[in-house]
Amino acid sequence: MTQQIDYSEKIPNNVNLAGDRRLQRALENWQPRFADWWLEMGPVGFQDNEIYLRTAVDVGREGWAHFSHVKLPDYRWGIFLSEPEEDRRIGFGEMKGEPVWQEVPGEFRTDLRRLIVVQGDTEPASVEQQRYLGKTAPSLYDLRNLFQINVEEGRHLWAMVYLLHAHFGRDGREEADALLQRNSGDPDHPRILGAFNEKTSDWLSFLLFTYFTDRDGKYQLGALKESAFDPLSRTCDFMLKEEAHHMFVGASGIARVIQRTCEVMKEYDTDDVRRYGAIDLPTLQKYINFHFSVSLDLFGSETSTNAANYYSAGLKGRFAEPSYEDDHVLVNDEDAISEIVDGRWLETSRPKITVVNEQLRRSYIEDCAKGMRRWNRILEEHGIQYRLDLPNEAFHRQVGIYRDAYVAPSGEILSESDWESSESNFLPTDSDRDFVISLMQPVYSPGQMASWIAPPVSGIHTQPIDYEYVRL
The residue from 131, 155, 156, 191 that contacts Fe ion (CB under 5 A) is: 156
CB of 81 to Fe ion, least distance (A): 15
CB of 126 to Fe ion, least distance (A): 7
CB of 153 to Fe ion, least distance (A): 5
- Which lies closer to Fe ion via its Cβ, residue 227 or residue 283? 227
| Positive or negative torsion for Cα 164, 165, 169, 172 | positive
Alpha helices in 198-229 (DSSP H): 203-208, 214-225
Question: Considering the rule CB under 5 A, would residue 246 count as an interface residue with Fe ion?
Answer: yes
CB of 210 to Fe ion, least distance (A): 7
DSSP states along 348-402: EEEEGGGGHHHHHHHHHHHHHHHHHHHHHHHHHHTT------PPPTTTT-SSSTT
Task: Single out the residue of 168, 175, 158 nearest to residue 79, CA to CA.
Answer: 158
Total interface residues for Fe ion by CB under 5 A: 6
Enumerate residues 366-425 that contact Fe ion by CB under 5 A.
none
The strand ranges marked E within 57-196 are 65-71
Over its C-alpha atoms, the chain yields an Rg (Å, rounded) of 23
CB of 251 to Fe ion, least distance (A): 13
CB of 43 to Fe ion, least distance (A): 15
- Mask 206-235, x = binds Fe ion (CB under 5 A)? --------x---------------------
Enumerate residues 109-138 that contact Fe ion by CB under 5 A.
123
How far apart (Å, rounded) are the C-alpha atoms in residues 399 and 271?
36
- Which lies closer to Fe ion via its Cβ, residue 100 or residue 157? 157
CB of 268 to Fe ion, least distance (A): 37
Query: Which one of 38-46, 51-59, 199-207, 240-248 is the stretch in contact with Fe ion (CB under 5 A)?
Result: 240-248
Enumerate residues 285-304 that contact Fe ion by CB under 5 A.
none
DSSP states along 92-104: SSTTTTSBPBSS-
Q: Using CA atoms in the order 76, 155, 235, 66, what is the torsion angle rounded to 10 degrees?
A: 40
Tell me how long the chain is. Answer: 472
- Mask 332-361, x = binds Fe ion (CB under 5 A)? ------------------------------
Q: Are 379 and 388 in contact (CB under 8 A)?
A: yes
- Which lies closer to Fe ion via its Cβ, residue 235 or residue 285? 235
Strands 50-56 and 334-341, bridge-based pairing: unpaired
- Which lies closer to Fe ion via its Cβ, residue 183 or residue 261? 183
What is the binding site for Fe ion (CB under 5 A)? 123, 153, 156, 214, 243, 246
